[in-house]
Amino acid sequence: MAFTHVFSHGAPWEWGNAGLLTVDDVQGSDAGPPALGDGPETVVFTWACESQFYTYLWGNTVNEALLLKPRGGALAAFGPAGISDVAAQALLYERLYAELPRAGTIGEAVRRAKAAALAADPRARAVVDGWNLLGDPALRLDVALWPPE
């Protein structure tokens, strides 16, 4: 199982200000085929604002496009629907990365990390409410590959 971690600025249509990865890279566009080829699927953890804004009216977000890509996309994606403070994000990601090797499933890791972040600091509420999981919460994580190298 592969893991992808993105710490960047973001928008619904791209990771990073310079288009590190865009929706068109994943799904293609009228201008051409997708730039992202087939390959192993990954579990995506995105700490880039709005990359998982699933109510975006103008199409899929980057993370949705990855989840919908049949080969070489995402098995699951955890990311933000909105914009939040980087320090508040750290309250969540530090706890999430601590839970991943022992939770068993991605859904349980997310649940535990959100509860721990709120218990540590109530200011984490915007991040806890704003980050969501796209994909199957019962996805079992291959902890033998954790932590990432």
Q: Does residue 101 sit in the same domain as residue 37?
A: no
Q: Is 144 helix (H, G, I), strand (E, B) or coil?
A: helix
Distance CA 73, CA 101 (A): 22
Q: What is the average per-residue pLDDT within 58-69?
A: 94
Please report whether residue 113 resides in a domain: yes
Task: Return the axis-axis angle of helices 86-103 and 106-120, rounded to nearest 10°.
Answer: 140
pLDDT beyond 60 at 145 = no
Tens-place pLDDT, residues 86-133: 888 999 999 999 999 989 899 999 999 999 999 999 999 999 999 999
Q: Is the same domain home to 66 and 11?
A: yes
Task: Evaluate whether 63 touches 5 at the Cβ level (below 8 Å).
Answer: no
Residue 143 inside a domain? The answer is no
Cβ(43)–Cβ(6) under 8 Å?
no
On whether the CB atoms of residues 134 and 106 are closer than 8 A, the answer is: no
Q: Work out the pLDDT band at 143, boundaries 50, 70, 90.
A: low
* Same domain, yes or no: 54 and 10: yes
Residue type, 98: A
Q: Are residues 9 and 68 in the same domain?
A: yes
Tokens 């535990």: give the residue: 112
Phi, psi of 102 (to 5 degrees): -115, -10
Residues 106 and 42 in one domain: no
Of the residues 80, 106, 139, the one at which a domain ends: 80
Token output for 73: 């996309």
Q: Are residues 93 and 113 in the same domain?
A: yes
pTM for the model: 0.89
The answer as to whether 146 is a domain residue is no
**Element (H or E) spanning 105, and its range?**
none
pLDDT at 17 over 70: yes
Place of tokens 């068993």: 104
Do 6 and 30 fall into the same domain? yes
Is position 29 within any domain?
yes
Residue ranges making up the domain that contains 28: 2-80
Domain count of the fold of the chain: 2
pLDDT tens readout for residues 22-57: 999 998 888 777 788 888 889 999 999 999 998 888
